[in-house]
Structure 1
Amino acid sequence: MLSPATTFSSSSSSSSPSRAHARAPTRFAVVASARAARFRPARAMAASDDPRGGRSVAVVGAGVSGLAAAYRLRKRGVQVTVFEAADRAGGKIRTNSEGGFIWDEGANTMTESELEASRLIDDLGLQGKQQYPNSQHKRYIVKDGAPTLIPSDPIALMKSTVLSTKSKLKLFLEPFLYEKSSRRTSGKVSDEHLMLQVSLNATLEKRQVVDYLIDPFVAGTSGGDPESLSIRHAFPALWNLENKYGSVIAGAILSKLSTKGDSVKTGGASPGKGRNKRVSFSFHGGMQSLIDALHNEVGDGNVKLGTEVLSLACCCDGVSSSGGWSISVDSKDAKGKDLRKNQSFDAVIMTAPLSNVQRMKFTKGGVPFVLDFLPKVDYLPLSLMVTAFKKEDVKKPLEGFGALIPYKEQQKHGLKTLGTLFSSMMFPDRAPNDQYLYTSFIGGSHNRDLAGAPTAILKQLVTSDLRKLLGNNKDGLAVGNVIASGSKAADLVISYLESCTDQDN
């Protein structure tokens, strides 16, 4: 019987948004300007010798979005203070190491799909630390209780056993049968759920596409299910394909061909140009390397850890450029005594989770300001378990990125995990030479209660699933868009403060 003797991460719980206005990152960026009659996007700036007059900006939340915003502001000479309620920066990104193993407890990889992400990596000098997974295009889906290679192109899809012959034909005909005229004539595209036209006509063939391609993808990346996720907010790249080409399938194919053409033109171009923006990567030492670099550039003295924002007061009349924000924060001294104080700023960038924001008190001109415009987000519970096994004890080691388990397969074969990343297969330096390291995820919309189960139970469930999928037969031994969000928020604040300076002059 396989049951890991040692488990490194026990069960680290994280959250993922799932409702209509939820986006893949778990931190929600709200930018607030002092002049705004309501809380709207703003901008920040200044150094003492800058024409913008030494303006100051508060960033609430020291996750990657908040740190990216603070870094951009600092780079433009703005006085920035970052408030973080936790005792560490990084939010959901955290890397740990022990006994020769390295693992991430949050995001394991990222892409450069956003221009701001590429610029940030270049600015921080992290190009040399980027680490690309081995065989990252080898990804698996569990079908009939066994891992099956996910097809990476149309030809491979035709040969694959993931879908039936009828399902494949339906899938390939979709771009030609898709009725997009009604979506075009109105001038806007409705914000439908992720399954789009597939779910609207839930024939058996189309249902297979949902069950074995869409559902595991959604569950594996956000913990959600297609019925409750908004494609526009959770997966903007897919939304753009749908909006541009009238079909996700047609868009994926045409976009892939376009990407190949661009790569041929640019060849092996230098960093920032010609890099494959869709390729996943991490950093040597884990994703924490990005957080550490940002934290270092923003400055330790500008990041106030263990400091909770209690209230924000907008001191403005909605007309003049004067005024600002008064922020009440709570921290503790060396003896653990609460220290409450108020600080004033010209603008605020909010990157804290919505659940935290909704606990804060907001006032405008001394009158309570109700945040009724904020979307309701269901943060799904998700736990991860990191386990390691001696190579000799794994009968079927799979090379590649990882394996996703569709909910239908969980029901049919008693599997409990959403999926598993082959951590040491992706990055060999994450484990000793004689070990395999795996990162498994449990919980999400279908198994909320399991996410909070005791460590011993999670350990048993993960071990059982890995035994079925990989053939382990002995005891085992015992991580883009948010960067872009923070950077764009910083740009908005800078523009706002510049406009204030122009009006004051």
Structure 2
Amino acid sequence: MGADGGRAKKVTGKVYKCWDEVTTKKKGQTEVVDYLIDPFVGGSSAADPESLSARHSFPELWNLEKRYGSIIAGALQSSLFGKRDKTVETKGGPRKNKNQRGSFSFQGGMQTLTDTLCKELGKDDLKLNAKVLTLAYSHDGSSPSQNWSITCASNKKTQEVDAVIITAPLDNVKDIRITKRGTPFALNFLPEVTYLPLSVLITTFKKENVKRPLEGFGVLVPSKEEQNGFKTLGTLFSSMMFPDRAPSDTYLYTTFIGGTRNRELARASTDELKNIVTSDLRKLLGAEGEPTFVNHFFWSKGFPLYGHNYGSVLEAIDKMEKGLPGFYYAGNHRGGLSVGRAIASGCKAADLVISYLNNASDKTVSDK
């Protein structure tokens, strides 16, 4: 996998860094690359190992390599230490460590989370489908509040706010006219970011029509399997992972198509993608007949690509935040692509806003 810095070995004209033990392409190791690394990268980021920066895409794996000299050795060491640290000592005796990773959802699906947030905010404070046209910072130091004014396309009215958290793609941020104390704040230093298109197809099959129902989380498809007719990135066994996702006599699958492996296919019609997904599920699970339900979501900017030059993107984001007091950028453009990472990014941004407003308030009080 490509990375910034670290040890590198040149293999068949390509440089792989950080994955020393699994990307040397020596005899007997090719399958590890083709059937472990490749599908893992494709399934988690819709990218391929050669296009990604391991340092920014998978910092935990990068740190394992830096600390232990290799990812595999680091994983083994961490696993051993992890077994020792399953309990935490407290005054009341040992207790299990609750900070363990795992998959979770809600009875109504992940939309329950956003619906609850919307309900907490209320209709008056939540503006949907409101494209931001301008952002103006005009704080003169005399007051800690109402530093920013925002104008949206929906009503052209200006709203005063204390701070701004933005999670839009950087391409969209460039389109916003930002001023700082009346002077245009140019964002020409923001580099171009490549976004990967992704289609998600939800399908259901009667259990009696799935001849090889595999148990587990799901399946990832290595790009090498394209030679055998596979075109999808992978499929989650959603109804097996979480209860009440489908009727008791039905399997529900969530399948991903596109990314760097096949950008154009991500933009295909629902009917074409249904045929492709059904074909792959026939080979993988022995699914027979047509799906009883199909739903299609297309994301033109499914994931930002953490490419080899992604360090310049992170530096530009930092520069943007430092140049605009009370302005914070969150989301999956740094720190990780997963939902969990995106939520953590939002929590961090909220903490920074609170700290910023508290510091501004303290400064105003001390100046009086």
Q: Does 1:258 align with 2:81?
A: yes
Contact 1:311 1:362 in 2 (8 A): yes
CA–CA separation in structure 2 for the residues paired with 1:500 and 1:446: 48
SS at match of 2:292: coil
Question: What aligned pairs does 1:54-133 form with structure 2 within 5 A after superposition?
Answer: none
SS at match of 2:153: strand
- Relative to structure 1, is the Cα distance of residues 266 and 385 closer, same or farther in structure 2, using a 3 angstrom cutoff? farther
Q: What is the deviation of 1:297?
A: 2.8
CA–CA separation in structure 2 for the residues paired with 1:394 and 1:500: 61
Partner of 2:199: 383
Contact 2:18 2:65 in 1 (8 A): no
CA–CA separation in structure 2 for the residues paired with 1:314 and 1:250: 50
Which segment drifts farther, 479-488 or 491-500?
A: 479-488
Partner of 1:461: 276
Deviations 1:206-249 (A, max 9, x none): 44322111111111111111122222332233233334333222
CA–CA separation in structure 1 for the residues paired with 2:16 and 2:192: 16
Contact 1:390 1:435 in 2 (8 A): yes
Q: Give the one of 347, 353, 357 matched to 1:493.
A: 353
Q: Give the one of 449, 473, 476 matched to 2:264.
A: 449
Question: What aligned pairs does 1:267-282 form with structure 2 within 5 A after superposition?
Answer: 274-275=97-98, 277-282=100-105
Partner of 1:228: 51
Taking structure 1 as the reference length, what is the TM-score of the superposition? 0.56
Q: What is the deviation of 1:273?
A: 6.5
CA–CA separation in structure 2 for the residues paired with 1:467 and 1:195: 36
Contact 1:266 1:274 in 2 (8 A): no
CA–CA separation in structure 2 for the residues paired with 1:236 and 1:298: 34
Question: What aligned pairs does 1:341-380 form with structure 2 within 5 A after superposition?
Answer: 341-380=157-196
Contact 1:193 1:229 in 2 (8 A): no
- Relative to structure 1, is the Cα distance of residues 248 and 321 closer, same or farther in structure 2, using a 3 angstrom cutoff? farther
Contact 1:194 1:227 in 2 (8 A): no
- Relative to structure 1, is the Cα distance of residues 376 and 456 closer, same or farther in structure 2, using a 3 angstrom cutoff? same
CA–CA separation in structure 2 for the residues paired with 1:273 and 1:357: 44
SS at match of 1:385: strand
Q: What is the deviation of 1:316?
A: 4.7
Contact 1:195 1:227 in 2 (8 A): no
CA–CA separation in structure 2 for the residues paired with 1:494 and 1:386: 40
Alignment size in residue pairs: 308
SS at match of 1:240: helix
Contact 1:443 1:451 in 2 (8 A): yes
Q: Does 1:413 align with 2:228?
A: yes
* Partner amino acid, structure 1, of 2:350: A
Contact 1:381 1:443 in 2 (8 A): yes
Partner of 2:129: 306
Percent identity of the aligned residues? 56
Q: Give the one of 422, 426, 434 matched to 2:237.
A: 422
Q: Give the one of 54, 57, 64 matched to 1:241.
A: 64
Structure 1 gaps of 5+ residues are: 1-18, 22-179, 184-191, 332-338
Q: What is the deviation of 1:20?
A: 8.5
